[in-house]
Structure 1
Amino acid sequence: MQDSDQLKWALLIATLAMLIMAFFVILFVMYYQKKKFEEEKRINDIEKEHSRLLLDTALNSEETERRRIAQDLHDDIGTMLSLTKLSLNQLAKIIGNTGEKEEQIMGRAQSLVEETILHVRRITRELVPTTLERFGLAEAIDEFIHKLEDGNNLKITFQHSTEELPRQSPKVELTLYRIMQELVNNAIKHSNCSKINISLETNSKYISLRVTDNGIGFDHDLIKESSLAGLGLLGIQSRLSIVDGTVEFSKSENNGSNALAQIPVVPVIDSKPEPLHPFRRERVNL
């Protein structure tokens, strides 16, 4: 009887020991899995941050190149065109009334130079949106759509509340402006639309840009999965990833396209905007 009791106690102790060992083994496996997950998450975070920094550097380089080209256009090409215009005006005075044919040729040359100057101005302002720096996002968008409407059978509306739209950081404003440009240009080129609506709204959490049109629309998921995905849509997503923003594409109420980009609102510590304009001084006024 005593041997039987001892055997039972031995079995009980052995069972408890095995349970304790199993418990510690499970704890060790769980701890190892947790550490492995944390390490993988840390590596993924590092990779994401590295990719974000690479994108940020690439986009900053793109904007720097835009500024350089704009400055070259303004300082070099603009100066040469202004001098050419001045020379033609002086030549026209010297020639005088020599004949109708000569006057037509001179007038055509002056018109071409004047038109080229206007094109250089337009390209320079598109490369570096000076209105964005000086007056803010709403004014820059308003100026952009008024230029598009001139000479086109296209109706563009823009809704916003200036009072509820404080200045954002230069990076956020430039990101939204470039995205707006891309979405509007895509609508004009590919949707066969006659109306485009742009809205800019903000609340305590997000600043939202919505662009809709009455065109033929498109299936964004299908384009994204196929080889048709263009650099424009990829560029929009890349720009938004830098500022933790998102974009959603869908069909609008009139079967056109609807794009909604949202960026978290970050309080601006320094209210003075960073300079976007490439010109430290203006030597020649085109």
Structure 2
Amino acid sequence: MAQQIPSNLGLLLIIGTLAMFIMALSIIVFAVLYQQKMRRKKQEMVQLELNYKNEMVQATLDAKEIEQRRIAIELHDDIGSSLTALKLSFVSLPIDEEERQLLNEGVQITIGKVRSLSNRLLPSVLEELGLVPAVKSLVNTLAQQIPNVHFSVIAVNDPKHESQTREVSLAVYRILQELINNILKYAKATVIQLTLEQNEDGIQITLIDNGTGFVPTKEDKLKSQSLGLKNIESRSQQVGAQIDYELQNPGTKVTLLWKPKTEI
């Protein structure tokens, strides 16, 4: 009997050690699984927050487009018609021909400005003819309005491969508007070169100016006064476009690239 005690103790030690090992392994497995679960929860929360922000951005941009459309229609239908009627009424005014001519010219200039503003708010060419004709129209209008800046545009369109939706076309058009507006306001450029290519691979726009040169940082995009940069960033994220800035000597080169999503 005395000889069996050490053997039993050894067996108990082995069992106890095995039990502790299993317990320790269980704790480790539980900790790993818990960490994975918490990591998945965190990723889900981040994704939910990102989706919410994207939805808010989309809602804001949609509301802005609706309001711009409303204002553009009022400018065209109400104010434009009123100015045209005013111009026609000059015929019956008891004034000499020279004064009547000056009034006509003044009202005609105002009508032109109203039409230009209406078209910037609601690019009808974009909806009717597509992105490339709309961009050409935008650049031609700016070239007439700002004679001290030389604009050049090369636009290539493959109508067989117009893979973008109206949403993408509008976002790209608005981004381009904002980029050109920033150049005209801040860069002191005298030359703006635009190249646009649209084909089965997507849309690529290259915008080069000879101004002071500017590459926005993350801090620049977050500044409250940088509304233009925020709009560019929001619209590019909205449709999944990529924008790169590169300093030139002189000026800045901006490249916008949008590719259609490939279905899996």
Q: What is the TM-score of this pair, normalised by structure 1? A: 0.82
Query: How far, CA to CA, are the matches of 1:189 and 1:87 in structure 2?
Result: 38
1:159 aligned residue: 154
The structure in which a higher percent of residues are helix is 2
- 2:141 is aligned with 1:147: yes
Query: How far, CA to CA, are the matches of 1:47 and 1:244 in structure 2?
Result: 18
Any unmatched runs of 5+ in structure 1? 268-286
1:21 is aligned, of 23, 31, 36, to: 23
1:283 aligned residue: none
Stretch moving more, 159-168 or 220-229: 220-229
1:78 aligned residue: 80
1:176 aligned residue: 172
Residues 229/71 of structure 1: CA separation in 2 closer, same or farther (3 Å cut): closer
1:60 aligned residue: 62
1:187 aligned residue: 183
Cα deviation 1:62-116 (Å, max 9, x = unaligned): 111111111111121111111111111343xxx5xx7xxx333222111111111
Offset of residue 217 of structure 1: 0.6
Query: How far, CA to CA, are the matches of 2:224 and 2:209 in structure 1?
Result: 21
Identity in percent: 31
Query: How far, CA to CA, are the matches of 1:225 and 1:147 in structure 2?
Result: 28
Residues 7/202 of structure 1: CA separation in 2 closer, same or farther (3 Å cut): farther
Query: How far, CA to CA, are the matches of 2:236 and 2:211 in structure 1?
Result: 25
1:110-259 equivalence runs, <5 A: 110-150=104-144, 151-163=146-158, 166=162, 168-202=164-198, 206-221=202-217, 224=220, 227=223, 230-252=226-248, 254-259=249-254
Residues 225/156 of structure 1: CA separation in 2 closer, same or farther (3 Å cut): closer
Bigger relative CO (Cα 8 Å, ≥ 6 apart)? 1
Residues 203/121 of structure 1: CA separation in 2 closer, same or farther (3 Å cut): closer
Offset of residue 229 of structure 1: 5.7
- Give the CA RMSD over aligned residues: 2.3
SS in 2 for 1:248: strand
Q: How many residues align?
A: 258
Residues 71/225 of structure 1: CA separation in 2 closer, same or farther (3 Å cut): closer
Residues 129/143 of structure 1: CA separation in 2 closer, same or farther (3 Å cut): same
Stretch moving more, 176-185 or 103-112: 103-112
Note if contact 1:237-1:246 (Cα within 8 Å) is conserved in structure 2: no
Residues 228/137 of structure 1: CA separation in 2 closer, same or farther (3 Å cut): same
Query: How far, CA to CA, are the matches of 2:221 and 2:89 in structure 1?
Result: 56
Note if contact 1:175-1:240 (Cα within 8 Å) is conserved in structure 2: yes
Note if contact 2:125-2:133 (Cα within 8 Å) is conserved in structure 1: yes
Residues 7/205 of structure 1: CA separation in 2 closer, same or farther (3 Å cut): farther
SS in 2 for 1:161: strand
Cα deviation 1:22-62 (Å, max 9, x = unaligned): 11111111111111111121122111111111111111111
Any unmatched runs of 5+ in structure 2? none
Aligned amino acid, residue 51 of structure 2: E
Offset of residue 246 of structure 1: 2.8
Aligned amino acid, residue 136 of structure 1: G
Name segments (4+ residues, structure 1) moved above 4 Å: 202-206, 225-229
Offset of residue 242 of structure 1: 1.6
Residues 173/226 of structure 1: CA separation in 2 closer, same or farther (3 Å cut): closer
Cα deviation 1:224-277 (Å, max 9, x = unaligned): 27848610001111112222233222213x34212222333148xxxxxxxxxx
Query: How far, CA to CA, are the matches of 2:233 and 2:222 in structure 1?
Result: 17
Residues 79/227 of structure 1: CA separation in 2 closer, same or farther (3 Å cut): closer
